[in-house]
Structure 1
Amino acid sequence: MCAVADEPVQHFADATAQNTRAANVEAMARTRDEASVPEVRLSDGTIARVVPSPYGGGWELDVDGTPQSHVDLDDPTHLHFEYIARMGAVIDRMRMPGQPLTAIHLGAGALTLPRYIEATRPGSRQQVIELEQTLWDLVRENLPLPRGASLRVRIGDARAGLGRLPAGLHGAADLVVSDVYSGAQTPAHLTTVEFYTEASRFLAPDGVLLVNVADGAGLAFARRQVATVRAVLEHVIVLAEVQTLKGRRFGNLVIAASRAPLPTEWLPRLMAAGPHPAKVAEGREVDEFARGARVSTDADSTASPKPTASLFTR
């Protein structure tokens, strides 16, 4: 009986040892992969790297310990970060499914959304403005774009770069995305009513502006951003994880805004698209969210709040 009882224990021990050895081999391989990825120093002194994603599949652009982008080269429709998935859900509702879009992206990162649009809407025309040439070189070398993508990357400040875009884009963009970070913060000059006024000039009459806003408890910065965007574009919805939208934890909120009413049929579909638990605020909820918040101007703007370092601890 002892022999019979001992046998499965031995099998379990063998399996445990095999799993441990496999995990060690995988960890060593990942360490070698990370060590082989070149680092580049950006103009502000921070270090940018492209590293294997710790969440299984794909790669991350990491800037001084802050994950900026996730890219899956094998499946560009895989949107890992929550706020990017919410942006993707809005993009999916625009025009007819698969119809090409004209898009302007302020802030490149690893080009997650441009890759998504290229994969889901072939033939789209896209312009990207990225501040750092060295960052773009790092991404282009290590995370190459698909052949034939109609995408132009321009180097320079996002706001100044708007003034250098072709005049033919004025009033022609289906989508403008503002997702600009210096380290873990959005620069102050990209949070103002003057900035959003400049960006909105490129929108088609029913074009959509998407803004990524990061904020923590109380959401004072996010409330100002919603008030500021609404001063330029009348129709606004806000997408976020439930606890983030309640101001109970640091996280990302997505503002979607347009001159034209955003279709009401979007709302249940955006909720269903997740990531869950999802919340879409509109109408009176947005009124209440922005109540009492001052519009941000070039004279009094601030950068987005800096998250604590522990937020990105693996």
Structure 2
Amino acid sequence: MGVHSAGGPTVGSVNDGQVELLADDDRPGGWLLLLDRVRQSYVALDDPSYLEFPYVQALAEAVVAMPEGPLEAIHIGGGGATLPRWLAQVRPGSAQVVFEPHPELLRVVQSRLPVPPDSGIEFRPADGRRGLGAHPADSADVVVIDAFSGGRVPAELSTAEFFADVARVLRSTGLLLINTTAAAQSMYLRRIVAAVATQFAEIVVSGQTTGDVGNLVIVAGRAGHLPIELVLAEDGPLGPSLALSGPALGDFVGDVEPLTDASPMRSPIPPDATWRVGGD
């Protein structure tokens, strides 16, 4: 993917830094959205079915495995709204809400990377946790957590209390999808899985099994409602998947305490070389 600046390198600014759009020289209509030089989203305006980043492909695989038909989805973390655009195309008639707390980032996306008016995607300039709290119970099929600040997941979006609210909003057959950064078997990963497990009995973790900090995708559902395709998957866009339930889940978590509002952690800082454009 070759990229260049679109109409000047900076198109806005938020607390985390500068918002930039880079055009993809290799794919017409392809745009890379940066925040403080960190890759936020890749948007293919001409073909929303195209997903550049492997973690987005992993999130999409979870949705593909769900029963056919339109879905009601809540996205916490807007970015360029890549997954909502994809979902609107592959599941016509879906109703989606995207929470993005940075008005300037939202302005850039809506003005430079607009979604069709009939897409069923509604952007709301609000904090995701507060926005989710205002949703009625049993009102969503999918809740996606893909929110980063400074390249790290905000602590308040990874606690047991937050996941209790996610469980309240999700229907019994619904799925929780999380994009996070971590190293496999790390304390952070085990603690966030423990927090998810306070509400969801079946969990699949996809991503690297060794090495440094990288993207990991967590998919969780209530007992009997996690798609069997995900549980049985041996290799996906992020590499191997680990299915966790029952004794296997207990063994993975071990004796660590779940992340809570009183005892939070932020996800680890990802390496600049792979996450930041121009990083060393």
Q: Give the structure-1-normalised TM-score.
A: 0.80
Structure 1 partner of 2:231: 267
Structure 1 partner of 2:241: 279
Of 31, 49, 54 in structure 1, the residue corresponding to residue 20 of structure 2 is: 49
Task: Name whichever structure is richer in helix by fraction.
Answer: 1
Structure 1 partner of 2:82: 112
Question: Deviating runs (4+, > 4 A) in structure 1?
Answer: 54-57
Of 151, 156, 159 in structure 2, the residue corresponding to residue 192 of structure 1 is: 159
- CA shift, 1:311, in A, is 2.7
Tell whether the 8 Å contact from 2:204 to 2:231 is kept in structure 1 after alignment.
no
Call closer, same or farther: CA 1:201–1:308 in 2, change over 3 Å: same
When the two chains are superposed, the root-mean-square deviation of aligned CA atoms in Å is 2.1
Q: Give the structure-2-normalised TM-score.
A: 0.89
Of 53, 73, 82 in structure 2, the residue corresponding to residue 81 of structure 1 is: 53
Structure 2 partner of 1:293: 256
- Whichever residue aligns with residue 94 of structure 1, its letter is M
Q: 1: distance between equivalents of 2:217 and 2:25? A: 25
Alignment gaps of 5+ in structure 2? none
Report the secondary structure of 1:128's partner residue: strand
- CA shift, 1:263, in A, is 3.4
Kindly report which structure 2 residues correspond to 1:108-187, keeping only aligned pairs within 5 A, or say none. Answer: 108-165=78-135, 167=136, 170-187=137-154
Of 194, 198, 201 in structure 2, the residue corresponding to residue 234 of structure 1 is: 201
- CA shift, 1:307, in A, is 1.7
Q: 2: distance between equivalents of 1:54 and 1:298? A: 44
Alignment gaps of 5+ in structure 1? 1-26
Identity percentage of aligned residues: 33
Q: 2: distance between equivalents of 1:178 and 1:75? A: 23
Kindly report which structure 2 residues correspond to 1:181-220, keeping only aligned pairs within 5 A, or say none. Answer: 181-216=148-183, 218-220=185-187
Call closer, same or farther: CA 1:89–1:192 in 2, change over 3 Å: same
Q: 2: distance between equivalents of 1:172 and 1:164? A: 11
Structure 2 partner of 1:18: none
Report the secondary structure of 1:201's partner residue: helix
Call closer, same or farther: CA 1:266–1:305 in 2, change over 3 Å: closer
- CA shift, 1:250, in A, is 1.6
Q: 2: distance between equivalents of 1:81 and 1:286? A: 28
Tell whether the 8 Å contact from 1:206 to 1:260 is kept in structure 2 after alignment.
no
Structure 1 partner of 2:267: 304
Task: Name whichever structure is richer in strand by fraction.
Answer: 2
Tell whether the 8 Å contact from 1:239 to 1:254 is kept in structure 2 after alignment.
yes
Q: 1: distance between equivalents of 2:35 and 2:238? A: 27
